[in-house]
Amino acid sequence: MPTDNRRIQGPEISTPYCVFGSSTENEDEDGCFKSTDPLSSTRKDGRALLEHRKIYMKTGVVSQAKGSAYIELNNTKVICSVFDPREIPNRVEYSQHGELFCVLKFAPFSCTTRRSHQQDAEEKELSLNLKRALEPAVCRHEFPNFQVDIYVLILESDGGSLAASITCAGLALADAHVPMYDLVTAASLGVAGDVLMKDPSEEEEKLCSQHFERSNLNHGLITVSLMGAHTQITQVWQTGSMTTTCVSESLTHLIQSCEETYPIAQRCLVKSVVDTISKKKVPEQS
C-alpha cells in the first residue's frame, strides 16, 4: 500500500481482533442459518420474511448543502448531500444533458472490517449503480453542460446499503430543488434457496451471496429502484444465480416494497416544505 503522508498512519499491518476471537456465546454460524430456516418464518431480528425494516427519513440535515437527506433502516445509516450545479470540469465539448456526479463512500468504521479512506472497487461500482438509478429521474436537459454533485456517505452498513443510498440521494435531489420527473425509491431482496427475504441485513446478505452445498438452488441479491408515479424501473442489479421465474417473482416483491417506501418519502418531503414555510413566517409576525 502506498504511504499517505496527508494522514496519520498506523502500523502497516493491523488485523481486526474478531479474527482471533473466541466467544462463549456460540452464535456465529448456527444462528445465521437458523434465521433462514424455511420452516420458521421469522428472522433473527424478529421480522417476517417479507417484512421490510422500519424506515426513518429526514431532509435538510446538512446546512451547508443545497439539499441533503438522511435515512436509517435500523442499523443501516446513510447521509447524502447535493450541491448546486457547476460546470463540468475538464470537458471541452458541449454536452446536451447535464450530468450527475455521484460519489459513494463507506465511512472507515461503517463495516465489520475497517475500510480504507480511498475509494475502492466496490464503492466505485455502487457509485455507478447509484448514478444509473438516479439519471432517468432527473430532468437533465434543464442544466446542459453542468453537473450536479451527489455525495453519499454510508455511516453504518447493515445490508441494503445501495437501496438506502438511492432512496436517500433521491430525497436529497428533491430537497435541493433539482428538477425531477419523479421520486426514486429503492429496495433490496435476498434469495437463499427457496426463501425470499425482503430488505436483508448484512448477515443475511452474506448468507445469500454464498451458495448451499445442494447445488442448483437459487441464491443471490437483487436491488431495484423505481419511479413510483410512472412505474418505471430506473435500475436493477442482481448478483448470484437464479432461475427466470425466481427473478420475476423477486421483482414483483421488490416493486411492491418500492411502492410502499414511496409515500414515506413523499410525506418526508411535504413535512420539510411545511417546516420551511412555517419557519419563514415566524420572523414576520414578531
CB of 13 to another protein, least distance (A): 6
Q: Which of 37, 112, 263, 274 binds another protein (CB under 8 A)?
A: 112
Region label for 87, one of left (φ > 0), alpha (ψ between -120 and 50) or beta (otherwise): beta
Q: Which of 75, 229, 273, 276 binds another protein (CB under 8 A)?
A: 75
Residue 75 or residue 276: which is nearer to another protein going by CB?
A: 75
Residue 8 or residue 39: which is nearer to another protein going by CB?
A: 8
| Cα–Cα distance for residue pair 241/199, rounded to 1 Å | 18
φ/ψ of 164, rounded to 5, equals -65, -40
Q: What is the DSSP string of 77-99?
A: EEEEEE---EEPTT--S--SS-E
DSSP state of 115: P
Q: Do 99 and 85 form a contact (C-beta atoms < 8 A)?
A: no
Site for another protein in 121-180 (CB under 8 A): 121, 124-125, 128-129, 132, 135-137, 149, 151-153, 155-158
Site for another protein in 228-247 (CB under 8 A): 230-244, 247
Q: Do 15 and 112 form a contact (C-beta atoms < 8 A)?
A: no
Residue 63 or residue 278: which is nearer to another protein going by CB?
A: 63
Q: Which residue has the cell 466505485?
A: 124
Q: Which of 55, 71, 73, 80 binds another protein (CB under 8 A)?
A: 80
Site for another protein in 246-275 (CB under 8 A): 247-248, 251-252, 255
| Cα–Cα distance for residue pair 27/34, rounded to 1 Å | 10
Residue 24 or residue 278: which is nearer to another protein going by CB?
A: 24
Site for another protein in 29-68 (CB under 8 A): 61-65
CB of 41 to another protein, least distance (A): 26
Specify the 3-state DSSP secondary structure of 169: helix
Q: Which of 3, 14, 26, 286 binds another protein (CB under 8 A)?
A: 14
Count CB atoms within 10 A of the CB of residue 282: 8
Q: Do 175 and 269 form a contact (C-beta atoms < 8 A)?
A: yes
Site for another protein in 81-110 (CB under 8 A): 81, 83-84, 93-94, 96, 103, 105, 107-110
Site for another protein in 186-225 (CB under 8 A): 209-211, 215-216, 219-220, 222
